[in-house]
Copies of this chain bind each other. A is one copy, B any other.
């Protein structure tokens, strides 16, 4: 059943485009789902893709456009006239249309909006553009089915038939008072099972979760996930129903956030993808490497301060990558758990308890690893005192690294900074420096060099 994109199929399309065989293309593609059309567009060069967009029904292409990678879409849109863009917008849900307009250059935004024939849609887009990014207002769509509490079930069904045409999926029917203020909700199921003559006010569910236009995306995601909602209504400060957010938008948001956190932990900023340009990838990666470089140079400086150990205990210098790796790994582990816990809201209990737990955990890990180091030392016939020195200082390094990894994200979070920046290179680098200093300092105390 599944559509499988092959290189043969792409060549066939490219061939048809090169001879401008519009009819052949329409026949070949008219049965395809918009998501499959999007996959094809991603494989074509921008001119060919633009040709297809202009050729196919805007009912399909408008949806396909939304599925494209931002940079592919940008290239195609730059090849369309304001009128052509407006035609695509006409077929979109208001939230998608507003997203597209927001991506356009400022100069042509106005022009595109003026070319939209449906005045209501144009007004909706302008309204949505006004809300702050990352808030429910910017995320919501204006399409929804709403009924007044004074209506009868039969009247409601009639009205719904009219409204439902513009709404892709009816999740809930929202009930408002005469001023448009949200009062409750009704499911299609309830409507099907209610007596025809009943008034909505008798059958609706007065309990309804909602968010306001200023609620942040993260909070919207938390509420929808916690209460297993597939759509949530959005109201203004006065309680007037303005729009709704559906689960697919939230899913995209959650996925994007998870990917961003993951990249941040790997030392990549700016939401890049494997097929982005070398320049984009360099911009996302180099700054973190430079941070690591400065950290490394810091270590060089620290070790120069302990140079006197070179003659008596050169072996210590062979252990620095191990110490740095341990400090880095433990720090990343601790921070990853905390960052995830903060995101899922399950970091509970007092800071003191967490401190005890982290130190306990680090002690167990550190002792186990320290024993392995001593065992290794015995096998290779290393001076016993040196082995013990390395084990003890490694244990201290692990404890400090765990504490840094745990508390830096917590402190950042308390100050309203995204704790995810504390995972990855940032923690690794600072733990490297701390760790190496601590290692040599403790060694110096024990070995008296």
Give A residues with C-beta under 8 Å from B: 1-2, 33, 35, 43, 67, 69, 157, 160-161, 164, 167, 169-170, 187-189, 192-193, 209-210, 223, 225-228, 230, 247-248, 251, 254-255, 258-259, 261-263, 265-268, 272-275, 278, 281-282, 285-286, 288-290, 292-293, 295-297, 299-300, 303-304, 307, 310, 314-315, 317-326, 328-330, 332-333, 335-338, 340-341, 344, 346-349, 357, 360-361, 364-365, 368-369, 372-373, 376, 423-425, 428-429, 432, 436
The docked-state distance in angstroms from the alpha carbon of A161 to that of B193 is 6
Assuming the contacts A278-B357, A296-B319, asked whether A326 and B289 have C-beta atoms less than 8 A apart, the reply is: yes
Q: Would A266 and B265 be within 8 Å (CB), given that A247-B230, A325-B292, A329-B289 are in contact?
A: yes
Shortest Cβ distance from residue A44 to the other chain B in the assembled complex, whole angstroms: 13
Which residue in B248, B300, B325, B336 is a CB contact (below 8 Å) of A322? B300
Q: When A282-B361, A289-B369, A300-B319 are in contact, do A265 and B262 touch as well, CB less than 8 Å?
A: yes
Determine the chain B residues whose CB is within 8 A of the CB of A299 once the complex forms.
318, 321-322
- Contacts A254-B251, A325-B296 given; indicate if A2 touches B282 (C-beta within 8 A): no
Which 6 pairs between the two chains have the least Cβ-Cβ distance? A296-B322, A274-B341, A266-B336, A258-B258, A303-B318, A321-B324
Distance to closest chain B CB from A219 (angstroms):
9
B residues in contact with A432, CB < 8 Å: 321, 325
CB closest chain-B residue, reference A345: B39
Copies in the complex: 2
Q: Is the CB of A337 within 8 A of B272?
A: yes
A300-B322, A322-B296 known; A251-B265 Cβ under 8 A: no
Cβ distance A30 to chain B, nearest Cβ, rounded Å: 13
A303 contacts B317, C-beta separation under 8 Å: yes
A337 and B274 contact, Cβ closer than 8 Å, known pairs A258-B258, A322-B300: yes
Find the B residue at minimum CB distance from A327.
B321
Residues of B within 8 A of A429 (CB): 325
Closest B-chain residue to A31, C-beta based?
Answer: B207
Report A397 CB to chain B, min CB distance, Å: 12
- CB–CB B423/A266 < 8 A: yes
Nearest chain B CB to A425's CB is how many angstroms away?
6
The 26 listed contacts between A and B (C-beta, < 8 Å) are: A1-B210, A33-B227, A35-B226, A43-B348, A69-B346, A169-B189, A170-B188, A225-B251, A247-B247, A254-B254, A254-B255, A266-B333, A267-B329, A275-B346, A289-B326, A289-B330, A289-B333, A289-B369, A293-B369, A296-B319, A296-B325, A300-B315, A307-B314, A324-B324, A324-B325, A328-B328
